[in-house]
Amino acid sequence: MHNLNGQLRKVRGSSIVLTVDPDSTADELLPLAVNKHCACNWHLERNAVYRLLYPDGQVVDKVPGTDEAFTLARYKVFLGKAYLKVALFICEEDDYIASKQKLL
């Protein structure tokens, strides 16, 4: 995702399949996703700080609607979708912060 006029927007055509352990946490997924995206997309800066986001732009830390720590398996159960349909996004922290400041 990136900031466009104060709103986070999905970058079309840049999704990449990431095969991970179902018990992976957000802290484990983020570096794996950043490394794979940086290897495939020359315009991403490897040294930037990124955040892992849900499709609505919220930071991944808890399973939505609960106080339970995020794991991929629990999020899949929450969504009721197959793993291939689970989508999370990375966003440079600067873009994330800029989009949140626009809301204030």
Residue type at position 45: E
**Across 52-66, average pLDDT:** 95
**Across 24-38, average pLDDT:** 95
**Across 26-37, average pLDDT:** 95
The number of distinct structural domains making up the chain is: 1
**Residue 89 structural domain:** 2-103
What is the per-residue pLDDT for 31? Answer: 96
Banded model confidence at residue 55, pLDDT cuts 50, 70, 90? very high
